Amino acid sequence: MTASLFRNYIAGEWVAGATTTINRNPSDRSDVIGEYAQADAAQTRAAVAAARAAFPAWSTGPVQERANILERAATEILARKDELGRLLSREEGKTLPEGIGEAMRAGYIFRFFAGEVLRMAGEKLPSVRPGVDVEMTREPIGVVGLISPWNFPIAIPAWKIAPALAYGNTVVMKPADLVPGCAWALADILVRAGLPAGVFNLAMGRGSVVGETLVNHPDVAALSFTGSVETGRAIAAKMAARMAKLQLEMGGKNPLVVLDDADLPTAVNCALQGAYFSTGQRCTASSRLIVTRGIHDRFVAALTDRLAALKVDDALAPGTDLGPVVDQSQLDTDLRYVAIGRDEGAQLAFGGERLERPKDGFYLAPALFTEATNAMRIAREEIFGPVAAVIRAADYDEALAVANDTEFGLCSGIVTTSLKHASHFKRQAQAGMVMVNLPTAGVDYHVPFGGRKGSSYGPREQGRYAAEFFTTVKTAYIAP
């Protein structure tokens, strides 16, 4: 154990873990961010017990105190956005502007939910029985377990923690083991913002240990998970067996439809940003570019030119457009899918090869396939890297059918100047979110986020819709 060990926060104390992990910079493997504690099952159970003990006072305590704490956290996150953004870019590999943008998003989310604390409205109706009133109110659920993935190390913890606390729940947070740094920094901020002991607990560590313990613990009343479909499915089976409340945000294979009448620069910008920025490691990334034949060749030529001009390098270096892939395992996955695409008969129009840079990082040239079909594995399976495939479509109707022909349904985009097609697509896209003339990735923080089909399960996250998951409704009948 080193002096700079970053500890877990359990029952109001910073505690060493059963084991530790070294957090390294994917842009430069020689750069160690720190040594982070990993909780075992017993420590995770202690965190749940602390959250359970803190629930009665927190859930019924003064709402002004709750709002103040969340507001103080928001203010500190925003004041430290550059430093937090740098930490984020260092541990996850997205570029510094993207890292700072994500840190700001986390700050605004806390500010939004500080306001929501005071807006937890109910409803009152006349009863069908004379003289009786009926009231519907929202109440917190209890101890909630929060499990996040590595690709948004501060925004996803923020958009789960802030509503959980705002609506009066107590929390055990398990961040992704690959990127504990931002979650630790967030915990440190929350503690100093004045949370009473036990209300918020940080249990860093392995999914197979900390995550499993939360999923199986009878005192965890609700669990919010973001991550892969595979892990989400396994969690769902266990949570259903003990009939606990569950919210899953999982993968995507998001389409961006480009029609003949599209403004070409808009289409290319949407594809470039949506498919490749943040190294393509976004659940909302547009990995299927469905392009009608009249614009196909011009679109591919313009996008290839833009890809060739992108600078892939150290996430912290000025001018870097794409940082590294997050780790060796994800890099191997990306390269394997590039090989699969070629074997399936798609044309590799650009990139897809490992890049050497002065620093020892996981650099990959962004890959663009053309002549792909929607039946290919590169068009059906989430790759989660800077790899996209162009699928040619005859017309709008075929493009829409291809867009919807997927087991996922997170975000669907279209680039068109036709109001008729934009309006039709908005209604017919089988996705939780639709973008018209905008990239599929990049969303507001104050409106619902989530998908359909295999992408999501349970109520939406973010905005006031977050109350659907983080509260339970009570109907009270009152006679004088």
Which residue ranges make up the site for ligand NAP (CB under 6 A)?
147-152, 174, 176-178, 206-208, 211-212, 215, 226-228, 231, 234-235, 249-252, 283, 382, 384, 410, 455
- Indicate the residue among 349 and 438 with the shorter CB distance to ligand NAP: 438
What are the Cα distances from residue 271, in Å, to 121, 371, 387, 414?
41, 16, 11, 10
Least distance CB 329 / ligand NAP (angstroms): 9
Least distance CB 404 / ligand NAP (angstroms): 18
Q: Is 249 a catalytic residue?
A: yes
Least distance CB 279 / ligand NAP (angstroms): 13
Least distance CB 455 / ligand NAP (angstroms): 6
CB 221 within 8 A of CB 144: yes
Least distance CB 450 / ligand NAP (angstroms): 7
Tell me the C-alpha distance between 206 and 62, whole Å: 35
Least distance CB 356 / ligand NAP (angstroms): 26
Q: Which of 283, 382, 411, 461 is catalytic?
A: 283
What are the Cα distances from residue 112, in Å, to 99, 141, 326?
20, 20, 30
What are the Cα distances from residue 274, in Å, to 389, 407, 411, 439, 440?
13, 20, 11, 5, 5
Nearest CA-CA partner of 4 in 35, 41, 48: 35
- Indicate the residue among 159 and 396 with the shorter CB distance to ligand NAP: 159
- Indicate the residue among 41 and 197 with the shorter CB distance to ligand NAP: 41
Q: Is 382 a catalytic residue?
A: no
Q: Which of 92, 102, 116, 249 is catalytic?
A: 249
Catalytically active residues are 249, 283
